């Protein structure tokens, strides 16, 4: 995994589309695509007639979801990740601190494993960190 995998080219979209039209590829493109799944309410993606794309974590947090309800979010986030054809396996751990939910995501793509961290609040999501796990065992 010494070079970036070919996950396609996309507009950079950490929290919104880059105003300068910057593009991303490789693991960052995949991580951003997965985070967009968590920042889009089900049924809002054009062409998603089944309402299967998306799980708005910000909406869940702003609705005042209980700790018990948030415990089930990990499996729902994982299901969103697995719906992406580039993802073979995924694990998600959630830690709630006050009004913030931190997700540590470990994804195995067809090119290998990588991790990223997402902070979710009622105001939105922030892709905070990521790393490629060279030679790491797959989850």
pLDDT 10s digits, 19-75: 666 777 678 888 888 999 998 888 888 877 777 899 888 888 888 777 777 778 889
22 in a domain, yes or no? Answer: yes
5 in a domain, yes or no? Answer: no
Whether the predicted pLDDT of 77 surpasses 60:
yes
Report CA dihedral (21, 26, 32, 37) to the nearest 10 degrees.
120
Whether the predicted pLDDT of 18 surpasses 90:
no
Burial of residue 34, with CB atoms counted within 10 A of its CB: 0-12 exposed, 13-18 middle, 19 or more buried: buried
**Residue 1 confidence (pLDDT):** 42
pTM for the complete prediction? 0.81
83 in a domain, yes or no? Answer: yes
74 in a domain, yes or no? Answer: yes
**Residue 137 confidence (pLDDT):** 47
pLDDT 10s digits, 97-129: 888 889 999 999 988 899 999 999 888 888 876
**Residue 11 confidence (pLDDT):** 63
93 in a domain, yes or no? Answer: yes
Q: Show Cβ contacts of residue 1 under 8 Å, excluding neighbours closer than 6 positions.
A: 111, 112, 132, 134
pLDDT 10s digits, 89-98: 999 999 988 8
Whether the predicted pLDDT of 78 surpasses 90:
yes
Q: What's the total number of domains in the chain?
A: 1
CA distance 82 to 50: 16
List the domain range (segments joined by +) for residue 75.
10-132
**What CATH number did the domain enclosing 63 receive?**
3.10.450.40
């Amino acid at each position: 995994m010494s070079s970036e995998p070919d996950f396609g080219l996309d507009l950079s979209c950490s929290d919104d589309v880059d105003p300068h039209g910057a593009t991303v590829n490789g693991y960052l493109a995949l991580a951003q695509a997965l985070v967009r799944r968590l920042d889009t309410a089900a049924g809002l993606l054009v062409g998603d007639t089944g309402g299967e794309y998306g799980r708005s974590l910000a909406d869940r947090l702003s609705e005042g979801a209980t700790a018990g309800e948030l415990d089930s979010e990990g499996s729902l986030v994982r299901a969103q990740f697995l719906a992406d054809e580039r993802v073979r396996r995924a694990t998600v751990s959630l830690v709630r601190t006050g009004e913030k939910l931190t997700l540590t995501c470990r994804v195995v793509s067809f090119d290998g494993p990588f991790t990223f961290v997402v902070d979710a609040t009622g105001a939105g999501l922030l892709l905070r960190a990521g790393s490629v796990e060279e030679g790491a065992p797959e989850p």
